Structure 1
Amino acid sequence: MPVNRPRPTIPCPSAAALILAISLLVLTAPTAAAEPVDWDKGGQAKEGGSDRTGIFAAARIQYSGSVAKGGGTGNVTSSDVNWTPPPCWYAPYLGAKDFKKEMSKHIDSQLNTPGMGGTAGAALGETKRHYEDGFGIPGKPGYKDYNVENDGKGMFWAGVENPNEPDYLKRTSCTDLPFWVENGDAPPPQYEEAISPEILAALAYQHMQLPDTKVTLAPAANTKVNLPTWAWLDKAVFDEVQATAALNVPGFNIQATTTARPVSLKLEPGTKDAETYPASGECVINADKSIGEPYAKGKADQTPPCGLKYLRSSGDGTYKLQATITWDIDWTGTGGAGGDLPNGTFGNEQAVTVQEIQAVNR
C-alpha cells in the first residue's frame, strides 16, 4: 500500500536573499561586460584596470577644469569632517538586448555550477524569473524577457564603485538590483544614490586640484628674531578654481561644475615662540581679492596686516611655516540645480630661517 509522504518544498528566498544573490552575480561579472568608467578629463585612465572584476556603468564620467591627473583624488580637504564624496552610485549600464546577453549568460553559468543549490540556487532561479518572467519583489518590478521590447528606449542602471573610496564596504555598498530607466526620465526616487548633478558636483569636489600657491614673505626665507615678517598673496595668482564632472549618454546628459573661491589665509609659524598678525593668524581676503599687503620701504616700523614675528632663533635648522588657504565652495548643475558644499582647505609648508641679531657693546 503506497504511503503518502509530504512533497519536498523548495525554500522561497526572501527579497533580501534575492538582492544578495544578484548583487554577488553583478559584482563578479567580468569587466568585459561593459566599458569601464573614465575617471580623468582626457579619457586615458580607466577605472579598475584589467585585473579587476565587476560590472561597471557603460557611461563615462568625464572631468575637466582644474582636476587631479590620472583620475586621482585632488588636494582639497573638506572642513566638514562628516562630509565625504559618494562611495558608489548607480549609473546607466547597458541597453536591454546587451543586458539580456550578459546577465542571462552569467545567471546560467552560476546555476550550472556544481554544488549550486539551497538558498543561493533558489535565489538565482528567482533572479532569472525576475528578468525573464517579470517576477517582482517588493518595490522592484520585474521585466519580461529583460525588457527587450523597449531596447533603445532606455537603459538598465547598475551600481558603480568609486575607485577613490578607501573603505571597501562603503565602495561596494551599491548592491541593488539593476533597474530600468526610460530615456529622458529620472531614476525612481528610492534610488538615492542614482547619479545626479549633486553627486557629480561632489565627485568634481573630490577630484579638484587647487593651485600650489606660495605665500610671499618679506623678509623672504631669512628673517630676524623680533622682526615682523609681512605675508601676502597677490590677486593675480589667487583666484577662483573650477572643476566639472559630466555624464553624457543618449537620453541622459547631466553635468555639474564645482567652484572654489579663496576667502582667507591661516598662518601657523611652526613654533610656539612666535606671534601672528592678526593674533588669530587668519588673514581675510581684501576687496581686490588679494590677501595681506606687500612690504614696501618705510613700513619697517609698522605692524603688518598679515604676517608673523618669531621670538626665538631657529638655530641651525628652520621653522616650518604652514600657510593654509580656506576656499568657499559651491556648485551649479544641469536644470538650474546648485547649492553649497563644505569649505575646502589646502596648505603649503615653507621653510623659514630665523637668525638672532647680534649686538656688540663698546
Structure 2
Amino acid sequence: MHSLTSDHSMTTSRRWAVLAGMTALAYGVITPPAWADLSPGGGTQGKTTQTAQRDGHTIASRVTFSGSTRNPSDQSSPAATPAGNWSPPACWYEPVSAQQFSKEVEDGYKMVADDPQQPNYAKESVSEYRDIYKNGKYKNYNLDKADKGNWWVSAQDPTRLNDQAAWECSDLPFWVKNGDIPPVKKAISPEILAELAYNRIQLPGTKVSLAPADTTKVNLSTWAWLDKAKFKKVSVTAALNVTGLNIQATTTADPVSLKLEPGTDDAETYPASGECAASSDGSVGEPYAKGKADQAPPCGIKYLRSSGSGTFPLKATVTWRITWSGTGGVGGDLPDGTFGTTQEVTVQEIQAVNR
C-alpha cells in the first residue's frame, strides 16, 4: 500500500475515493441479480486466469479472464483498437460480503493509524471513512445483516489509473439488499464483463503472407493472404465467481477483412479499395499457386516503380468483428476492432536481357 500524498488541496470526495481504494477488497455475494446463474460448482477451476491486482489505491478485483488472454499492461501484445470513441470500462462496481468489507476497512484503518510517517490529515480521513461504516450511517459494517445483502465497491482497471474515466466510479461503498438492483450505472453484469474481456483478447500479429515473399518486381502482381491457422476466431471469457454464483461472458473476435496500404502512391491494390473481405470459409486472400502468375490475385498489390536501395512500408490492418454472449442468454455486438502492422517490401526492376 502506498503512502497518501501530503497534498492538502485534495477534495474530500477525491480523498475518500482514494481511501475507498486503499481499503480495497476481494469480493463475495450471496443473492445474485436476475441474470445470474445459480449453478453450484460454477467457477474457473482448471482454467488459465488473470486477475487485476492491488496497486496502490486500486481495488483488487475478483474478475478473472480465461482463453486467448493478453496482459493489458504489455504494450507489445497485439490488441484490438475499437472503432469510434468507444473503449472498455475503466471502472465498475463489484459486490463484497459484510465480513470481507469489515476486515478490509479495519485492516486499512490500523495500517494508516499505526504508521508514524502518515500525515495527520490522512489519519483523520481514514478515521472518518471508518466511522461511516462502523459507528455512523451504518452500524458495525452491517454484520448483523450479513445474510441479507452485500456491500458494493468501485474497482479500477489498474492499467488505466491515469484516465479520468477510471475515477468516474466515485461512489463510496454502499449497501444493497439481496434481490435489489445496485443504484449505479456500472454495476458488474455480463455486458460489463464482456466489455472488460474485449481489452484482454490476444490477437495474432498481422504479418501478411506474400508471393513473391518480401522481394517482388515492378509491374508483377504480388499475392497476399492471411494464414488460416493463425487468423481464426479467438475468445476470452470474463467471470466473477463466488460461492453459489457464476456470472460470466465470452467475447469473441472474428477476422472479417484485411486492408492493404502499399506504402507508396505508385502502386495498385487488388481489389482497388485495398480491402480484402473474408470468404465464406473464413479465409482472407488466396495463397499463390503455380500457374497463376498471369492472373490478378483476389487480394494483393502491384508496385509500379522500384523501391531503389530502400523498401516500401506495406501496412496490413485486419478488422475483427467482436461479439459476446453471457450468463442468462444475453449477448450482442461490440464495436469492431482493428490491429495492424507494417512490413518492409523490396521492389526491384525487371532486368531485360539483350540477345
- The interval holding the TM-score normalised by the smaller chain is 0.7 to 0.9
1:165 — aligned with what? 160
TM-superposed CA distance for 1:88, in Å, is: 0.9
Give yes or no for the alignment of 1:192 onto 2:185.
yes
Cα-to-partner distance string for 1:247-300 (whole Å, 9 max, x where unaligned): 112354211100111111111111121110111100111122212222223322
| Cα distance in structure 1, aligned partners of 2:140 and 2:257 | 59
Give yes or no for the alignment of 1:23 onto 2:17.
yes
Give the stretch that moved more between structures: 310-319 or 143-152: 143-152
TM-score for both structures, normalised by structure 2: 0.78
Give yes or no for the alignment of 1:47 onto 2:69.
no
Given the alignment, which residue of 209, 216, 230 partners 2:209? 216
Q: Which has the higher contact order (CA 8 A, sep 6+)?
A: 2
Which amino acid is the alignment partner of residue 80 of structure 1?
A: A
> Structure 1: any 5+ residue segments left out of the alignment?
1-16, 36-40, 136-142
Which amino acid is the alignment partner of residue 96 of structure 1?
A: A
2:286 — aligned with what? 293
2:91 — aligned with what? 88
| Cα distance in structure 1, aligned partners of 2:91 and 2:195 | 12
SS for the counterpart of 1:148 is helix
Q: CA RMSD in A?
A: 3.3
Give yes or no for the alignment of 1:268 onto 2:271.
no
Residues 189-338 of structure 1: matches in 2 within 5 Å?
190-250=183-243, 252-338=245-331
Which amino acid is the alignment partner of residue 85 of structure 1?
A: P
Which amino acid is the alignment partner of residue 242 of structure 2?
A: V
1:140 — aligned with what? none
Contact 1:21-1:124 within 8 A present in 2 as well? no
1:139 — aligned with what? none
SS for the counterpart of 2:196 is helix
TM-superposed CA distance for 1:165, in Å, is: 1.5
Given the alignment, which residue of 163, 178, 181 partners 2:176? 181
| Cα distance in structure 1, aligned partners of 2:211 and 2:119 | 76
Which amino acid is the alignment partner of residue 309 of structure 1?
A: K
Give yes or no for the alignment of 1:146 onto 2:152.
no
| Cα distance in structure 2, aligned partners of 1:105 and 1:315 | 68
| Cα distance in structure 2, aligned partners of 1:114 and 1:306 | 65
TM-superposed CA distance for 1:338, in Å, is: 0.8
| Cα distance in structure 2, aligned partners of 1:295 and 1:43 | 40
TM-score for both structures, normalised by structure 1: 0.77
> Structure 2: any 5+ residue segments left out of the alignment?
1-10, 28-46
Cα-to-partner distance string for 1:89-116 (whole Å, 9 max, x where unaligned): 11123x2234334435766998999865
Contact 1:320-1:349 within 8 A present in 2 as well? yes
| Cα distance in structure 1, aligned partners of 2:125 and 2:266 | 71
Aligned length: 323
Contact 1:110-1:116 within 8 A present in 2 as well? no
Cα-to-partner distance string for 1:32-88 (whole Å, 9 max, x where unaligned): x658xxxxx74576524xxx433625x521111111148657523334231011111
Q: Larger C-alpha radius of gyration, 1 or 2?
A: 1
The structure richer in helix per residue is 1
Relative distance call for 1:294 and 1:97 in structure 2 (3 A) is closer
Relative distance call for 1:344 and 1:106 in structure 2 (3 A) is closer
1:61 — aligned with what? 63
